[in-house]
Structure 1
Amino acid sequence: MQPLRRFSSLCAAAVLMVPLLAFAAPLYNVTVVAGAGSAARDLNNLGQVVGSMASGSAAHAFLFSNGSLADLGTLGGQYSMASAINDRGQVVGNAELGDGWLRGFIYDGGAMTALPATTYTLAYGINNAGTVTGSASVDAQYVNPRHAFTYANGTYTDLGTFPYGDASFAFAINNRGDVVGEAATSMDGGPNHPVNPFLYRDGVMTDLGNLGGIWTGATAINDHGQIVGYAGLPAIGGNLYPQTAFLYENGVMRDLGGLVSDPDRQFGSTAKGINNLGQVVGAAGVGLPGNHGFLYDDGTMTDLNALIDPASGWVITDAAAINEVRQIAATACKEGLCYAVRLDLVPAVPEPSVFMLLAGGLALLGWRRRTAGGVRPLAPRCPG
């Protein structure tokens, strides 16, 4: 009976090995896309990443594409930052003019061009049709109040405000032309400048509500109309202004929670990006030393640091965007310095089938028989 016991053990080991291989958590490789002092803000479906990087004593917008890093420059001042990129490689962001004011820009075909404006105009999002969204002051003399806008084919569209507020700020636009952001819920900014998230669709700005707190804003929207952002919560214990990441879909705003057990919600979270698979990324507090980037998928929030090689030394502190092939634009720190990075899924290793594993067990058993110096009857089938 000894050979039968050995063969039964091999069969059991082979069968038990299959679920372990099939359900292993996906892992990411860390690809550095810019130097120390950089941060990633967005990426497209081609894996191109944009953000800001150190340039002398200032910061400049960058574009990482096909392994090459480009400094996008400024509009005559010292500072610029890229906010978003579409699948055509068009980049938008904000750059300092020679007089020190910021102006929204579009970078296309190797050149940075200021958005035409007579007011204080900032750009935060762009879709694949090239429609830009952001916010602009409503007259030439004052920075505030500001209204959300879209800009396409040389024309600005003022998206307006809530009827009970006087300001709005757009942060993202999807390929259907839906715009999301935040808008004031009172006149003259008081008290505490309360804001709620909005969805602008077909000429109508809709208030998405909140989770009981006074500061709530939408940061991203996918092509299915799922919206993410940050939401204020009612005061909890000694925490007067707790904040949580949210996902809004089918008319319901869901609290996504955080990465640590935190009954008093001392460590807030913010959702910053969502892809068409409904996967959400952002940042959540974990105590000292601060925030960790997260991936929210299928009802579960996971610390991105659990999905990279722990021996790499990287700490993912923020995740800004995720594309359709699950690449993530993030910021990671090592040895006291922080870098813009792209997280790429480790290529999947083909999983051996049950039959291959069983064949391996048979071969091993046959080898043991041959080394024992005798030809024996064929091995029995796996028990059960």
Structure 2
Amino acid sequence: MQARISLIASGALLAFCTFAATAALAAPPVYKIETIDKAHNTLPRWALGISNNGIVTGEAWMNSRYSSSAFRYKNGTTRPLLAPDTWDAAGWRVNDDGAVAGWVGYEAWTWDKAGAGTNLDALVPCDADGSRDSKGSGINSAGDVVLSFICDRAGVRVFGAYLYRGGNMIDLGTLGGNYTTANAINNAGQIVGSSFLAPDSDGKVHARAYIWENGSMRDLGTLGGSDSSAVDINDAGHVTGMARNAANENRAYWYDGTTMHQLPTCHGSDNWPQPRAINNHGQITGDYFGKGFEAFLYQKGRCYSLLTLLDASGAGWTALQAYDINDKGVIVGAGVFNGKGRAFIATPVKP
């Protein structure tokens, strides 16, 4: 009986090893890349966010390179999301209804699915002295928006973050210091960003990645060093961002709900990735600096240069920067196509 159990265990180990080796040698995915074309006097230059049903938002040039607008791209059509005195506006994230979070000038805005805009900066409870500065940085399926702000309170410069929900502003607080940013929100209402700890015994201040939920902020720790930050979170509560390791090196990580794991290098031993987004399958995208900016895709323990994954449609593209990825693995960003800056959509044709 013992021999039979040992044989079964050995067989299971062999099968596992075979599976692991096969997965490690699996062919990389293949992507098709396309530009987002000009429409309504709007030329998309940066595609910054994509929903799971393929709605894209970002920043577009309006008639000239000196005026920009947020845009929404859906079913092959690009439309500007306008606001009064638009001159430097962008949509950063978009949900499946087409609602967008972003900014106009130095003020956080949100647009609903019909394109009607709301100035969130005007709702930030700071002294109305004209010094406010904010940015809408995330939106979930319920239309909840997170924003970071800078303002003056009684002459003191404040860096903080709010959740805009149901017409109300909820202050996220801090981890003990005087600085917080909010970078993303998932469909469970969890928020991630960076917050200062209280000064240590030497008077030094350190920033930490956090998850905020139900009114409480939790420190995610580091890779062994002193600081960290979080840029995105998926619906499982998995996070990506940057953290310092024991050697005080700033490295990309993904957080599995309990532990931070350092991401590998991309397309070369010295090319460390800087993530911007994670989807519900654990795929991460962002960019790194090689011979120039290069977008990357991290999946199944490997980091790929997006340029190396493109099919024939990749001819003429250079300097890709990736800003978001949806659950279908579609990546959006900005790059240079035949010498001109353009927004792109990269779609997997072979997973």
**Deviation of 1:192 (Å):** 8.5
Match of 2:308, SS state, is: helix
1:305-346 Cα offsets, whole Å, 9 max, x none, are: 121125622135222111111111122222332211111122
SS in 2 for 1:305: helix
1:261 to 1:24, Cα distance in 2 relative to 1, 3 A: closer
Distance apart, 1:173 and its partner CA: 0.3
- 1:150 corresponds to which letter in structure 2? L
Q: CA deviation at 1:213?
A: 4.8
Conservation of the 8 A alpha-carbon contact between 1:34 and 1:64? no
CA distance 1:193–1:83, shift in 2 (3 Å): farther
Q: Tell me what 2:266 maps to.
A: 259
Instruction: After superposition, give the CA deviation of every residue in 1:85-137 in whole Å (9 maximum; x if it has no partner).
Output: 011100010112xxxxx211111112222123343343110100011111234
1:250 CA displacement = 3.3
For 1:294 and 1:42, the matched residues in 2 are separated by: 16
Q: Which residue of structure 1 lines up, in the alignment, with residue 346 of structure 2? A: 343
Deviation at residue 74 of structure 1 after TM alignment: 3.6
The one-letter code matched in structure 2 to 1:146 is: F
- What residue in structure 2 maps to residue 246 of structure 1? 253
Matched-pair contact (CA < 8 Å) for 2:59–2:68:
yes
5+ residue gaps, structure 1, are: 1-18, 97-101, 236-240, 349-384
* Aligned position for 1:78: 87
* Alignment CA distance shift 1:317-1:62 (3 Å): same
Residues 118 and 140, structure 1, Cα contact 8 Å, conserved in 2: no
Question: Which of 306, 309, 317 is the matching residue for 2:320?
Answer: 317
Change (3 A) 1:34 1:209: farther
Decide whether the 8 Å contact of 1:38 with 1:340 is kept in 2: yes
Q: Whose strand fraction is larger, Structure 1's or Structure 2's?
A: 2
Out of 225, 228, 245, the position equivalent to 2:237 is 225
Instruction: Specify which of 204, 216, 228 is matched with residue 228 of structure 2.
Output: 216
1:152 deviates by: 0.7
1:272 CA displacement? 1.0
Work out whether residues 268 and 284 of structure 1, in 8 Å CA contact, stay in contact via their aligned partners in 2: yes
Superposed displacement of residue 191, structure 1: 8.0
The equivalent residue for 1:201 is: 213
2:284 is aligned to: 280
Quick check: 1:269–1:282 contact (8 Å CA) kept in 2?
yes
Mapped to 2, the partners of 1:77 and 1:140 lie a distance apart of 27
After superposition, the CA RMSD in angstroms is 2.8
Distance (Å, rounded) in 1 between the aligned partners of 2:54 and 2:295: 19
Distance 2:125 2:257 in 1: 39
2:36–2:44 contact (8 Å) kept in structure 1: no
CA contact (8 A) 1:134 1:170 kept: yes
Find the structure with the greater CA-based Rg.
1
The answer for the alignment partner of 2:273 in structure 1 is 269
Question: 1:321/1:37 Cα in 2 relative to 1: closer, same or farther (>3 Å)?
Answer: closer
SS in 2 for 1:166: strand
Report 1:145-224 matches (<5 A).
145-163=158-176, 165-186=177-198, 194-213=206-225, 215-224=227-236
Which residue, out of 20, 26, 29, partners 2:29? Answer: 26
User: Are 2:192 and 2:233, in contact at CA under 8 Å, matched by a contact in 1?
Assistant: yes
Rate the CA distance shift 1:211–1:191 in 2: closer, same or farther, 3 A: farther
Change (3 A) 1:49 1:316: farther
Seen in structure 2, the aligned counterparts of structure 1 residues 268 and 58 have a Cα distance that, compared at 3 Å, is farther
Provide the C-alpha distance between the structure 2 equivalents of 1:215 and 1:144, rounded to a whole number of angstroms: 22
- 1:91 partner letter: V
The 3-state SS of whatever aligns with 2:69 is strand
Within 5 Å, give how 1:360-379 maps onto structure 2. none
Q: Say whether residues 1:135 and 2:142 are aligned partners.
A: no
Question: Which of the numbers 54, 74, 78 marks the counterpart of 1:47?
Answer: 54
User: Aligned letter for 1:320?
Assistant: Y
Please list, as runs of the form range in 1=range in 2, the aligned pairs for 1:90-101 lying within 5 A after superposition: 90-96=99-105
Unaligned stretches of 5+ in structure 2? 1-21, 127-131
Return the alpha-carbon distance in structure 1 between the equivalents of residues 73 and 155 of structure 2.
Answer: 35
Counterpart position of 2:78 = 69
**CA distance, structure 2, for counterparts of residue 225 and residue 176 of structure 1:** 9
Quote the residue 2:5 is aligned against: none
Aligned equivalents of 2:203, 2:74: Cα separation in 1? 45
> For this pair of structures, how many residues does the alignment match?
311
Deviations 1:271-307 (A, max 9, x none): 1111111111111221x2x221111111111111121
Structure-2 separation of matches of 1:191 and 1:59: 42
Q: Which residue of 2 aligns with 1:371?
A: none
TM-score (norm 2): 0.80
Q: Taking structure 1 as reference, are residues 249 and 347 closer, same or farther at Cα in structure 2, changes over 3 Å only? A: closer
Contact 1:50/1:62 (<8 A) preserved: yes
Distance 1:329 1:220 in 2: 15
Q: 1:75 Cα shift?
A: 3.7
Q: Distance in 1 between matches of 2:116 and 2:302?
A: 42
Q: Residues 334 and 232 of structure 1: is their aligned pair in 2 closer, same or farther, counting only changes over 3 Å? A: farther
With over 3 angstroms needed to count, the CA separation of the structure-2 counterparts of 1:194 and 1:317, relative to structure 1, is: farther
